[in-house]
């Protein structure tokens, strides 16, 4: 159904206390992220307790101001210094905060096709600064909190840290126990710098990027769509069983990723893109590895690291070969890929290599070299996305989702935890429409369209007052 959203008020929330103005250089791992946006949605039912909406929104803005006092780069701007090196100008410019109302109930939202309401009308545009926020009250008394970030400043882990801290400061009226870490020295290159040929082959300068050709013979000819599914726990276990048939137990994540890789290859072959290289990219968080062997304090320090702290290993196999491989063989490839970067030396080497490329912004090689090839990126937020308090005065969220702007051309799948069953997963897909149709035609037993009934969204009768 068509959703009408009315903006009530737009203002700028600035940090309290303000930081001293300074320029914060991008770390070497920040330079691995091109200028793209990433977002998050938090959906709330109407709470059983009475909520005075005007006061709650006022509290949200007050706590956001205090949270920005800790996460001060989010209130800044991306700028180059005199040497043309990009970084964050921490100038307390603030965050655009939009208050809106929508003539729709939470249960009526199209969760399966978020572009039709959430992405199009409930997510703010980021026209200035690093972050934009929109709070939309629904006619049932529910609420949608949407945030859009410049990905060069934060990764998914950092978004979760910020959201958790902001929620704590809203409902508990106290600073978070985890203070964010923006120290650049944590990610400094070593002297002398050391890295392997493998690391040096992972990325190329963004200036080398060739945007995918959208001619009639290209798999990129379709505009990309966002669709959200759920996959039941027993189906995940079934895939895990197939992936482990060679006698080597494989994780649930490795098993689902292998299936997504395989069905992407099948899509390429069956849609006439014969002989294409089918690349799989798996972003891997490096916080655990960078603190490996350095004690509890170092672990806490890196665990509070706000910014981009990930590597993007990839593997490519011809789609015609990949299509016919048993899932267990693909799972072996995925396992070995993840093992190859699950070391402290890999992340240290990556930091060292980027130091030799500064101040260039870099991009994952398969995303840039896309002629006669297609790449699918699969990210997992299963372990961290639902951790921490996200109560902004409306109780626990009914659903938490990532958001990929429709304009982004990278094929991206995000694995998320289910809010209703700990064994199920939510699967957010940002793929060409024909690719999504192919998945539904060949794997509808696995991926079910996300619906309000699955999320247990029903009417309740408490009144929320403006």
Summarised one tens digit per residue, pLDDT across range 169-203 is 998 877 777 899 999 999 999 999 999 999 999 99
Q: Do residues 167 and 258 both lie within one domain?
A: no
Helix extents (H) in 223-277: 233-243, 252-270
Tell me, yes or no, whether 359 lies in a domain.
yes
pTM comes to 0.94
Tell me, yes or no, whether 191 lies in a domain.
no
Q: Check if the beta carbon of residue 165 is closer than 8 Å to that of residue 70.
A: yes
Please give the sequence-ordered ranges of beta strands (E in DSSP) within 199-336, or none if there are none: 203-205, 224-231, 277-281, 284-285, 310-311, 314-318
Q: Do residues 430 and 461 both lie within one domain?
A: no
Q: Do residues 229 and 161 both lie within one domain?
A: no
Q: Do residues 140 and 237 both lie within one domain?
A: no
Please state, in angstroms and rounded to a whole number, the distance separating the CA atoms of residues 369 and 242.
32
Tell me, yes or no, whether 324 lies in a domain.
yes
Q: Do residues 174 and 291 both lie within one domain?
A: no
Tell me, yes or no, whether 196 lies in a domain.
no
Kindly state the average pLDDT of the residues 85-105: 96
Q: Do residues 152 and 238 both lie within one domain?
A: no
Average pLDDT in the chain: 92
Residue 122 has what DSSP assignment?
A: I
For residue 161, give the CATH number of its domain.
Answer: 3.30.559.10
- Quick one: which H or E segment has residue 431? strand 425-432
Q: Do residues 133 and 26 both lie within one domain?
A: yes
Tell me, yes or no, whether 213 lies in a domain.
no
Q: Do residues 72 and 175 both lie within one domain?
A: yes
Kindly state the average pLDDT of the residues 312-316: 97
pLDDT tens digits, one per residue of 403-455: 999 888 899 999 999 999 999 999 999 999 999 999 999 999 999 999 999 99
Per cent of the chain over pLDDT 90 is: 80
Tell me, yes or no, whether 215 lies in a domain.
no
Q: Do residues 164 and 47 both lie within one domain?
A: yes
Tell me, yes or no, whether 289 lies in a domain.
yes
343, 345, 342, 325: which is closest to 333 by C-alpha? 325
Token reading at 109: 């939202």
Please state, in angstroms and rounded to a whole number, the distance separating the CA atoms of residues 206 and 34.
7
Q: Do residues 168 and 272 both lie within one domain?
A: no
Q: Do residues 148 and 271 both lie within one domain?
A: no
**Band of pLDDT at residue 459, cut at 50, 70 and 90:** low
Which structural domain range is residue 9 located in? 5-185+457-465
Q: Do residues 147 and 175 both lie within one domain?
A: yes
Tell me, yes or no, whether 397 lies in a domain.
no
Give me the number of domains the chain comprises.
2
């Amino acid at each position: 159904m068509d959703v009408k959203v009315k903006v009530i008020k737009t203002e700028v929330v600035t940090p309290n206390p303000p930081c001293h103005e300074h320029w914060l250089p991008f770390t070497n791992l920040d330079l691995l992220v091109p200028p793209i946006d990433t977002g998050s949605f938090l959906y709330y039912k109407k709470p059983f307790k009475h909520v005075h909406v005007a006061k709650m929104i006022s509290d949200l803005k007050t706590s956001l101001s205090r949270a920005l006092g800790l996460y001060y780069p989010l209130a800044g701007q991306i700028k180059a210094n005199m040497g043309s090196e990009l970084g964050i100008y921490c100038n307390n410019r603030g965050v655009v905060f939009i208050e809106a109302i929508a003539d729709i109930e939470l249960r009526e939202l199209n969760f399966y096709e978020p572009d039709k309401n959430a992405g199009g009308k409930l997510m703010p545009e980021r026209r200035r600064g690093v972050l934009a926020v929109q709070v939309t009250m629904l006619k049932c008394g529910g609420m949608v909190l949407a945030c859009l970030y410049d990905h060069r400043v934060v990764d998914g882990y950092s978004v979760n840290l910020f959201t958790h801290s902001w929620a704590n400061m809203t409902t508990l009226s106290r600073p978070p126990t985890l203070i964010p870490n923006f120290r650049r020295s944590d990610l400094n290159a070593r002297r002398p710098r050391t890295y392997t040929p493998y690391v040096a082959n992972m990325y190329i300068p963004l200036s080398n990027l060739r945007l995918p050709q959208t001619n009639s013979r290209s798999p990129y000819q379709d505009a990309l769509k966002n669709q959200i599914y759920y996959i039941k726990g027993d189906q995940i276990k079934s895939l895990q069983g197939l992936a482990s048939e060679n006698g080597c137990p494989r994780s649930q994540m490795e098993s689902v990723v292998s299936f997504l890789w395989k069905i992407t290859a099948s899509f390429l072959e069956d849609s006439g893109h014969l002989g294409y290289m089918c690349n799989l990219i798996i972003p891997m968080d490096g916080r655990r590895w960078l603190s490996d062997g350095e004690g509890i304090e170092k672990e806490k320090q890196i665990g509070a690291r706000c910014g981009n702290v990930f590597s993007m290993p990839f593997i490519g196999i011809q789609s015609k070969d990949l299509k016919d491989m048993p899932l267990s063989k693909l799972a072996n490839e995925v396992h070995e890929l993840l093992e190859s970067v699950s070391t402290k030396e890999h992340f240290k080497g990556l930091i060292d290599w980027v130091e030799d490329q500064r101040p260039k912004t870099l991009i994952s090689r398969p995303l840039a070299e896309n002629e006669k090839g297609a790449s699918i990126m699969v990210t997992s937020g299963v372990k961290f996305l639902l951790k921490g308090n996200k109560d902004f005065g409306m109780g626990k969220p009914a659903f938490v989702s990532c958001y990929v702007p429709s304009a982004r051309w990278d094929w991206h799948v995000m694995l998320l935890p289910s809010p209703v069953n700990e064994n199920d997963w939510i699967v957010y897909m940002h793929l060409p429409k024909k690719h999504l149709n192919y998945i539904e035609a060949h794997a509808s037993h696995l991926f079910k369209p996300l619906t309000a009934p699955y999320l247990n969204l029903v009417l309740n009768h408490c009144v929320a007052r403006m």
